[in-house]
Amino acid sequence: MIGNKNTTSRLRHRVTLQQEIRIPDGAGGFSNSWQDMADLWAEINPANAKSLYGIEKLFAGKIQAEISHKITIRYRSGISTSMRLLFDNRAFNIRAINNIHENNEILELLVDEGVAN
């Protein structure tokens, strides 16, 4: 429950949500860049190495990146796995999104830290 003081007080890290955009390069091509979408309050926790969050998975014939952190934020519509979060010069690529209890109050974002791909 987001109104719970314990949940609200855990969201103490300020993160920036970014969306990748394509910018025309003037020569008929494009370059990719990141655009700030919103500043959000979040809780950032390393993934538990014993949980499924920290295991590489084989999906569609490719090894998927290891989930390094779980980031909890208040619900926000429109977040996708093509976005990333920035925190203290660190980039977290969103790999999975869980709408806790499907009640549009809290999102858990499973992320990997590093350069977006």
- Condensed to tens digits (0 to 9), the pLDDT of residues 62-114 reads 555 678 999 999 999 999 999 999 999 999 999 999 999 999 999 999 999 98
Q: Is the pLDDT of residue 28 over 50?
A: yes
Stated pTM of the model: 0.77
d(CA 61, CA 59): 5
Domain spans of the chain, in order of start: 5-113
d(CA 67, CA 49): 10
The CATH class, in words, for 5-113 is: mainly beta
Give 41's strand partners.
Answer: 14
